[in-house]
Chains A and B, each alone.
Chain A
Amino acid sequence: DAKTTQPTSMDCAEGRAANLPCNHSTISGNEYVYWYRQIHSQGPQYIIHGLKNNETNEMASLIITEDRKSSTLILPHATLRDTAVYYCIVRVGDVQGAQKLVFGQGTRLTINP
């Protein structure tokens, strides 16, 4: 069974913030939320991950709700190159007890000019 639920597709205007939701209502206390994306004809690319606190890096921000049952990936100023399939994955990510990545179908994000 899928651990996450994402919308099948989304659109966003270039230059605007893209907010991608993910529901993970059965997440366990030791499971992290990971985001990868896959641009057409390329392999998936790591974006960001988090456990409880919000996280930000050069690519995106990850907002995790207090109850950890959902999260939002934010691309602050979307460009055409951000058009891709975005995968939200939950798993135990500790170095010693890490689980494998299990990809769902993801959200196909289209950035429109």
Chain B
Amino acid sequence: EAGVVQSPRYKIIEKKQPVAFWCNPISGHNTLYWYLQNLGQGPELLIRYENEEAVDDSQLPKDRFSAERLKGVDSTLKIQPAELGDSAVYLCASSLGLGNEQFFGPGTRLTVL
């Protein structure tokens, strides 16, 4: 069974440019998460979806970050415009529900120059 798929794995952009990350969760998983992980730190939740509804986006910087999960399957996380401080690993995870085991993708490593 395929795990959580993320693309791209690596992205290098200049500041002020837009960038988007894509996530395909495990089939049948209704809950999808986007996490941000800075170097040397644990992951921090940005947003959680239950099907297509964003039920927890309290940590998402809404001035420059946006996310969508059309049709309740794949999800896209966007940053526009990117800042130097956005350099980090962006992780996607999915689970059957919030109380169930979370399965993480490999992440996208973003470098903003």
Report A's interface with B, CB cutoff 8 A: 41-46, 85, 87, 93-106
The secondary structure that dominates the B interface is loop
- 17 A-B pairs within 8 Å (CB atoms) are namely A42-B106, A43-B4, A43-B91, A43-B106, A43-B107, A44-B102, A46-B103, A87-B42, A95-B100, A96-B99, A97-B99, A98-B97, A100-B45, A100-B56, A101-B102, A104-B42, A105-B42
Q: Is residue B40 contacting chain A, with contact meaning CB distance below 8 A?
A: yes
Tally chain B residues at the interface, Cβ within 8 Å: 22
- B58 to chain A: closest residue by CB: A100
> Taking beta carbons and an 8 Å cutoff, which residues of B are in contact with A?
4, 40-45, 48, 56, 91, 93, 97-107
- Bound together, the chains give a CA A102 to CA B101 distance in angstroms of 14
**Contact yes or no, B97 A44, CB < 8 A:** no
Question: Whole-angstrom distance from the CB of A30 to the nearest CB of chain B?
Answer: 12
Within the assembled complex, what's the spacing in Å between the Cα atoms of A102 and B41? 12
